[in-house]
Structure 1
Amino acid sequence: MNQSYTNLEIIIVDDGSTDETPDLCEHIATTDNRIRVIHKQNGRQASARNAGLKVCKGEYILFLDSDDELQPNCCEIVTKQITVSPDFVLFGFNVYKNGRLLRTPNPGNAIYQNGNWEIFKKHFKYLMPSPCNKLYKKSYIKVLFDESCVYGEDSIFNYANLTEGTVLVAIEKCLYNVYLDKEDSVNKTFKEGKLRDIIKGANIRVNKLTNIFDIKNKALDEIRIEALDGILEGVYTCCNALPQKTAIKELEINLNNDRVLERKLTSTRLHLRPLNFFCQNKHFKTAYIYCRILGWTIPKARNLRNILHKWAHTGH
């Protein structure tokens, strides 16, 4: 409402609130004729965003999470970047916690087109997952958010819509304020299905990047290693956050379907360090799962713990 750029359609999606939020939203709408309120049953973040996408009338779209904030000049600055008709404009974040500015990740200034991997990698790749630091051309969005996801639907959405002909603009300004004070944030909890979505997102990201770009072996390994790191973090969190039976069920269901590492990596040594870390810290179950992700053959013996423990100290 306080944006310096005023030609806005503001859509508030009340995703099944159970407190006084619906009444507050309706009251706010009476104070500004640009505001439209949608009330729906709770369906999580992806469902809420899709509800807004289905009714919005604007040529460009920007998302704002309920616990974050836009800089007052955000819309004014990003709309000035659409002269080259980009599919989306990417900008940076101000990340706060307890009132303190922690970091300001930003993409720098660049224009990406014609499948230039070096420009995409340097300016766009590492800030791709979130939809909140982007101004999208509405016609660019062909794939909506995956409402079956409990985690990582943002990254899946962005990579699912990325094509060979995509044109992107990056600006170094940090125009979106992220606040990390919310303890029950979706990113701080582990739910059943989260590992499934981590693996799904990793596969989509690897497949899309390898299909769009003519990437050589070293860069391809780098992409797969990053995907593995994400899966590894999910495996580790799953093993430590969920009850043992639930964790085992999650791992058995999801790891057998992983295709991220179909082809062997040329730099296998890079994968030994995390395995060494797990073993030295006696996370033997996670170490075993990690070996399975890599496709390494390991003995299903009673002394598996001793084998891994010895490996941690000798490297053999």
Structure 2
Amino acid sequence: MEEKGLLSVIVPVYKVEPYLRRCVDSIRNQTYKNLQIILVDDGSPDNCGAICDEYTKIDGRIIAVHQKNEGLSGARNNGLLFAKGEYIAFVDSDDWLHPSMYETLVHLIEAHQLDMARCSVIGSDGQAEDSILPRDKHIANQLITGAHVFELYFTEFLCKVVWNAVYRRHIVMGIISPERCHSEDNYVSGRYLYRSKRMMITDKCLYYYYKNPTSIVRGGYKRFLDICICTEKLRDDLIREEHMTNMFYVERLNKKLAREFFHFVRVNDDRYRLRSIMRPQKKFIDKYLDFFRRIRFNYLLRKKKIQII
């Protein structure tokens, strides 16, 4: 039987010692065998680095990369430097995979000449589980083409994360995930979707997403301004690097940016106190917020005594 293309799987590793073996074993035990597994130890202070090295001795498909702490994005970016695969995938190191995940997704890519294939997800807190399926049931298991792929950035959770997918190499390479930002998937997933012209989302739940209460992105300390930074960067980089000229999408991204800033202002947390806002920024937000959010936004500026300068 002809061996299918090499799939490089990048796993950032940081302070996940209780979960790391479960994650790595679920990748090693995939029915799709032609894997390169890149474990990026992001300066983890526990025994994760030693566990990564241990796995390199028992499975020749695994390499361990050790680096100073650069955050999730830094680990993914550096992992890509070692990726040799025709296909690329990412896994968060406290999550795990169904044994047939990669075989299913690579088969979809090859059978339908896709740029990426995605699966549905099971969310788990270690006890209860719930399925995360496409919000629009009509797109499940259907070929999505052209501008309809990027359209899902605005509407579909399964398209706003990077770990439930297999990508062709050209979709991923050259895109740098914003480092030290807690909303990096918001940026990277948008870039990948914009580059993709053919995609499918299977309704099979093949990725297990662990709702880790200590994780930065899943209940821990979050910086709510980061999603605004990533949304603005996505808009600007799509215009500059991908030569996006469709003003409809520029306006959609502007509206999203205004909404995210509105949500940032709403946060009642002294760590995120906003003392002032520049007049051009306020004008931008007023322009792109819907009527009711705009009323609420201006009320919050007065209530929180945020100066307009």
Give the TM-score of the pair, scaled to structure 2: 0.73
8 A Cα contact 1:110 1:123, kept in partner: no
Tell me the equivalent position of 1:303: none
Aligned pairs (5 A) from 1:8-27 = 8-27=35-54
AA of the residue aligned to 1:113: T
8 A Cα contact 2:186 2:227, kept in partner: no
Rg larger in structure: 1
Aligned match of 1:134 in 165, 173, 195? 165
1:255 positional shift:
6.5
SS in 2 for 1:132: coil
Aligned pairs (5 A) from 1:1-316 = 1-83=28-110, 84-106=112-134, 108-116=140-148, 120-121=151-152, 125-141=156-172, 142-147=174-179, 149-163=180-194, 166-190=197-221, 194-205=223-234, 208=238, 211=244, 215=248, 224-237=254-267, 239-242=268-271, 247-248=273-274, 252=276, 258=281, 261=284, 264-265=287-288, 267-272=290-295, 284-285=303-304
8 A Cα contact 2:121 2:209, kept in partner: yes
SS in 1 for 2:269: helix
Cα distance in 1, alignment partners of residues 81 and 142 from structure 2: 31
Cα distance in 2, alignment partners of residues 182 and 267 from structure 1: 33
1:235 positional shift:
2.7
Gaps of 5+ in 1: 293-299, 301-316
Cα distance in 2, alignment partners of residues 258 and 70 from structure 1: 43
Cα distance in 1, alignment partners of residues 283 and 48 from structure 2: 42
Cα distance in 2, alignment partners of residues 67 and 101 from structure 1: 15
1:31 positional shift:
1.3
1:247 positional shift:
2.5
C-alpha distance after superposition, 1:69-115 (max 9, x if no partner): 11111011001011233222122211112410134233622323232
Give the TM-score of the pair, scaled to structure 1: 0.71
1:33 positional shift:
1.1
SS in 2 for 1:144: coil
C-alpha distance after superposition, 1:267-292 (max 9, x if no partner): 4235436777x69xxx921xx55x96
Cα distance in 1, alignment partners of residues 161 and 33 from structure 2: 24
1:188 positional shift:
2.9
8 A Cα contact 1:159 1:204, kept in partner: no
Cα distance in 2, alignment partners of residues 122 and 131 from structure 1: 12
AA of the residue aligned to 1:284: K
AA of the residue aligned to 1:102: D
SS in 1 for 2:273: helix
Q: Count matched residues.
A: 272
CA RMSD in angstroms, aligned pairs only: 3.6
Cα distance in 1, alignment partners of residues 280 and 220 from structure 2: 23
Comparing 178-187 and 126-135, the one that deviates more: 178-187
AA of the residue aligned to 1:166: K
Tell me the equivalent position of 1:308: none
AA of the residue aligned to 1:77: T
8 A Cα contact 1:115 1:212, kept in partner: no
Relative to structure 1, the CA distance from residue 128 to residue 259 in structure 2 (aligned partners, 3 Å threshold; closer, same or farther) is farther
